[in-house]
Chain A
Amino acid sequence: MAETEEERHELWQIVDEILHHRILHLFLDKLPEMHHDEFLHRFHKSPHDENLLGFLNERIEENVEELIKEEMELLTSEILREIRK
């Protein structure tokens, strides 16, 4: 679909940003509100820290990795639907 590498890069970047919004939304929905501030501070301080997953898993009843996977699948299907419209 993208004709140049720049176009492809830009499309990926938009998808990437959507993904971050959606995953952040998901975490906040699932995480009890009393932990929101601590999560946001940790997330801002080191977004790459793998311990963040541990932090979330301890405070969210469901399996966080599974939730992320489901959200990703949902987003993928939504984007594919947009393409096929």
Chain B
Amino acid sequence: MTKSAHKKSSKKKLTSEEFRQKLKLKHLESKRKLFEKYPKVDKFFKDKGIDPGKIREHSTKILGASAIAGALLFSPPLTSSALPTPQEIIEKLKSDKNIKIEDKQSLLLRNNNVNLANSLTGLLPKKSRPLNRNEEKILEQVFSQVLGVAARASLEGEHLNTTYGYIGAEQHLRRFPGDTLLQHAPTPKDFGGEGQGSGSILKEGLAPGLGAWGYFAPSKDALTPKIEEIERWYAVVQTLYLPDWSARQPHLKNWYKYRKVLIVNIDNGNAVVASIADSGPAIWTGKHFGGSPEVMHYLGGAKYKKGPVIVFFVDDPYNKVPLGPVEYN
């Protein structure tokens, strides 16, 4: 064994607790430096009863309060006067001339997607933000009647911090110990397997860590087509920022594991049903959701890395809704 190899193998692996201690020290150091240099900042936040490190929680509270106040005070009149009703949107989609005159199914689908995208653009605020209950109710009806998917912003009392935000490209997740990138190559019958850019599906690579719920299967032998589908069409949501995430364990962790969500690209109307298999992305990325390479490829094409989407839970108590693209006409 060479010297460097010996050194490498004898190096003690850092445990989670040791890492936590090191981070805690760094945390104290950053806080001390800030307040030593700017004592008035320390006083300002103390007076307000906030720790600047926990500003995210403070922000969540403000946003939550604003959403409730907005829903109570402003939404009903605004919705009834400015927004079309779900039925109006659906009728518009059905009666569009493009849909009637085009024979080719692909073109029909594309036109329909564009119509849905146009309707969503008119319905949604220009900048992504948490939607109020009325806006979400309209979307639920539109998705149910146009896409044929029973999707809910709130399901069984659970709700994401936002249902309208930016999705970003994620990497493939390791499905079992020893999984490699090449084993994620789509076969001709899979999405991306034939003429749809299998290269772009693999290009994103394999995530170095595991998903929030660990391996999908304990071994390669235990991998089933169903599990493959879950990883192929997986979504990432910010469970780590849910205000009650820590307080309601293990319920929330179990509830979100592989929970189906409907993701709709508001720019082109493409929609996909995916299952939640990881937690993220970090808030500073400016993104609110993540999608597997297949999800992203279907939503926006091979070069799609980030874009505005709606994410709702799929109400599927009998597990009948398949994962993957939602094609509608």
Query: Which A residues lie at the B interface, using CB under 8 A?
Result: 1-3, 5-12, 14-22, 24-25, 28, 36, 40, 43-48, 50, 68, 72, 78-79, 82-83
Contacts and interface: CB of A to CB of B under 8 A. Distances in A.
Interface string B45-57: 1001011111110
Contacts of A50: 127
Interface residues of B, number: 44
B240 A12 contact: yes
A17 B124 CA distance: 32
Contact of B62 (A16, A17, A48, A72): A48
Contacts of A45: 62
27 contacts: A2-B16, A3-B16, A7-B20, A8-B212, A9-B240, A9-B246, A10-B20, A11-B23, A16-B282, A17-B51, A18-B23, A18-B26, A18-B27, A18-B30, A19-B284, A20-B52, A21-B30, A21-B33, A21-B52, A28-B37, A36-B38, A40-B44, A44-B44, A44-B48, A48-B59, A50-B127, A82-B26
Nearest to B31: A21
A7 B62 CA distance: 27
Interface in B265-297: 279, 282-284
Interface string B243-272: 001100100010000000000000000000
Given A8-B212, A10-B20, A14-B24, A47 B246 contact: no
A56 to B, nearest CB: 15
A20 B23 contact: no
Contacts of B27: 14, 17-18, 21
Contacts of A40: 41, 44
A18 B55 CA distance: 11
Interface in B111-162: 127
A82 B14 CA distance: 10
B63 interface: yes
B53 A1 contact: no
Given A79-B23, A82-B22, A20 B14 contact: no
B58 interface: yes
Contact of B212 (A5, A44, A48, A68): A5
A17 B53 contact: yes
B223 interface: no
Contacts of A6: 246, 249
Contacts of A12: 240, 282
